[in-house]
Chains A and B, each alone.
Chain A
Amino acid sequence: MDVNDRIHAQLIKAGVRLAASLPDDWVNTLIRRISQDNQIRHVPVGREAETIAICAGAFFGGVRSVAIFGNTGLLTCTGEMATLCLRHAIPVFCIVSGRGSIDDHKVYQEVQGRRTIPLLQAYDYPYKIIDDEDEIEDIPNAYEWHRLQKRPFVLFLNKRLLGTKA
């Protein structure tokens, strides 16, 4: 069982049955695994903020969900996370590639690496960075915790964990 299989398995254990996603090369393997799982309704979108609203809607249908996308997309949808989710106290669980880290030398990820965490802190969005495989088993705990936080929560997956070469 590789890292993405383990994350997938922990999402199932947490009760996740809907995933809305937009590709990023670090999380594409996870997205593909989920899209092949009949237990989870997969909703590909064209813009990251759609995932936030789709997951917010799923919350009211009693369905546990996850939004999966790249760090750049996280920057684009913080406004909707605020005006929809903070406004109405709706929890949304996000899995995001931790782009722009010191081992990510893509120049177009540089700003994301420096400014994402300060931005989350400014909005008071809780987050956790997973860089050790053993922490994957914390996902069900993180899921319960984000529900009682009643706001968006971001779980970052880093390059070393994913073993990506991109």
Chain B
Amino acid sequence: MKTNACMQVLAKYRGDAVVVCALGMAANEWWAVTRSEDSFYMHGGMGFAASFALGLALSIPNAPVWVLNSDGSLCMNTGCLITEAGQSPANLKHFVVDNQCYQTVETMPMVNQDGADYTAMARGAGFKRAVAIDNLADLDAKMPEIVAAPGPYFIRLRVEAEPDYQRAPPANYEGPEMKYRFGRALEKKLGIQVFGPRGF
């Protein structure tokens, strides 16, 4: 499946979920599909979107949190699966957009391309729910159960590599503005206080 089409299906089932995107094409496509400011589009910390999402999920236990991770980011910090399973956050769903390459750097092949089973790794780390999905029809059919089930839930999404460099551009704001737009969006959405009375 194409990443953009995959994101459109996810968006259809998103509901109230707060979304954390690992840097890269999945984040760009999520922005292209949703234009949502209650999503955090990481611009660095490759490998640590899942850890960021875990900290967020533990802090807002009554709100659903999704992380749109990537295969490259997962490979950079596979230990995040163990930490996440250890905390067992019921509100966290962990999607891995797997195009088997480092798409934004000339589609260089992923480490052990075709040889790693991320779903099995998640189960081995302690996830009770982990599934591999390879096409849009299966994704559309499975999403109601994924949304309804308690987390942590690991979902590996196989997508096609699309070699055009930044076919979808990243969000049109970045850095500190990302912090304030996301934080303010969560304050409004969840009724929480992210920033203090003087704005920091």
Which residues of A pack against B, CB within 8 Å? Answer: 18, 20, 41, 43-47, 49-50, 52-63, 65, 80, 82-84, 87-91, 147-148, 150
Q: How far is the CA of A44 from the CA of B115 in the complex (A)?
A: 30
B56 and A87 contacting across the interface, CB-CB below 8 Å: no
B175 and A89 contacting across the interface, CB-CB below 8 Å: yes
A41 and B45 contacting across the interface, CB-CB below 8 Å: no
Q: How far is the CA of A41 from the CA of B83 in the complex (A)?
A: 13
Q: Which residues of B contact A88 (CB under 8 A)?
A: 42-44, 175-176, 178-179
Q: Which residues of B contact A49 (CB under 8 A)?
A: 45, 47-48, 51, 77
Q: Which residues of A contact B45 (CB under 8 A)?
A: 49, 52-53, 56, 80, 83-84, 87
A44 and B83 contacting across the interface, CB-CB below 8 Å: yes
B7 near A: Cβ within 8 Å?
A: no
Chain B residue nearest to A57 in the complex (CB): B55
A90 and B179 contacting across the interface, CB-CB below 8 Å: yes
Show 7 residue pairs from A and B whose CB-CB distance is below 8 angstroms, ordered by the A residue: A43-B83, A50-B80, A50-B83, A53-B45, A60-B56, A61-B59, A87-B45
Q: Which residues of B contact A43 (CB under 8 A)?
A: 54-55, 58, 83, 87
Interface of B is mostly: helix
Q: Which residues of A contact B80 (CB under 8 A)?
A: 50
B161 near A: Cβ within 8 Å?
A: no
- Across the interface, A61 reaches (CB within 8 A) one of B60, B77, B83, namely B60
Q: Nearest Cβ in chain B — how far from A42, in angstroms? A: 9
B5 near A: Cβ within 8 Å?
A: no
Q: Nearest Cβ in chain B — how far from A30, in angstroms? A: 20
Question: Which of B96-104, B106-114, B147-155, B190-198 participates in binding chain A?
Answer: B190-198
How many residue pairs at the A-B interface have CB separations less than 8 Å?
A: 126
Q: Which residues of A contact B57 (CB under 8 A)?
A: 57, 61
Q: Which of B35-82 contact A (CB under 8 A)?
A: 40, 42-49, 51-60, 77, 79-80, 82
Q: Which residues of B contact A41 (CB under 8 A)?
A: 58
Q: Which residues of B contact A59 (CB under 8 A)?
A: 55, 194
Q: How far is the CA of A47 from the CA of B50 in the complex (A)?
A: 13
B86 near A: Cβ within 8 Å?
A: yes
- Across the interface, A84 reaches (CB within 8 A) one of B42, B86, B183, namely B42
Chain A residue nearest to B192 in the complex (CB): A62
Q: Which residues of A contact B53 (CB under 8 A)?
A: 57
Q: Which of B157-200 contact A (CB under 8 A)?
A: 175-176, 178-179, 182-183, 186-187, 192-194, 196, 200
Q: Nearest Cβ in chain A — how far from B56, in angstroms? A: 4
Given contacts A46-B82, A49-B45, A57-B56, 16 further A-B contacts (CB under 8 A): A18-B58, A43-B83, A47-B79, A53-B51, A54-B55, A60-B186, A61-B57, A61-B194, A62-B186, A84-B42, A87-B44, A87-B175, A88-B42, A88-B44, A88-B175, A90-B179
Q: How far is the CA of A148 from the CA of B197 in the complex (A)?
A: 12
